[in-house]
Amino acid sequence: KNQVEQSPQSLIILEGKNCTLQCNYTVSPFSNLRWYKQDTGRGPVSLTIMTFSENTKSNGRYTATLDADTKQSSLHITASQLSDSASYICVVSDSSGGSYIPTFGRGTSLIVHP
């Protein structure tokens, strides 16, 4: 069964600090990996997407890495801001079949304190 595990479950940091969130997956055959940001009370919004051949993708202060050999990804947030407080969800898609049925991680809840 396809699985996506995220760590830590929650994280508290001070404004201006950096942090790294982790995602391990057992999805096969791998197609792509996305990181979403979900603000409280809102739907998820895509931050980055990486395919098998990509190992780094940036979106402003967000940088995602992918190691397809070890099936691990990380999301690094630089110079955190209060608005970064949210849940960050790792989502992995497989390339089997014709339907889009991604596997979602449980998310990491990030709180940025002033």
Partner 1 sequence: NAGVTQTPKFQVLKTGQSMTLQCAQDMNHEYMSWYRQDPGMGLRLIHYSVGAGITDQGEVPNGYNVSRSTTEDFPLRLLSAAPSQTSVYFCASKSAGGSSYEQYFGPGTRLTVT
**Closer residue to partner 1, CB minimum distance, 92 or 112:** 92
C-alpha–C-alpha distance, residues 88 and 108, integer Å: 5
Residue 101 binds partner 1, judged by CB under 8 A: yes
Minimum Å gap between C-beta 1 and partner 1 is 10
Minimum Å gap between C-beta 102 and partner 1 is 7
- 75 neighbors 20 (Cβ within 8 angstroms): yes
CA 114 to chain centre: 24
Q: Tokens standing for 43?
A: 């739907």
C-alpha–C-alpha distance, residues 87 and 32, integer Å: 20
Binding residue (CB under 8 A) for partner 1 from 21, 63, 86, 105 = 105
Dihedral sign of CA atoms 11, 36, 64, 25 in order: positive
Q: Which of residues 42-81 bind partner 1 (CB under 8 A)?
A: 42-46, 49, 51
Binding residue (CB under 8 A) for partner 1 from 18, 56, 83, 95 = 95
By CB under 8 A, name the binding residues for partner 1: 4, 31-32, 41-46, 49, 51, 89, 93, 95, 98-107
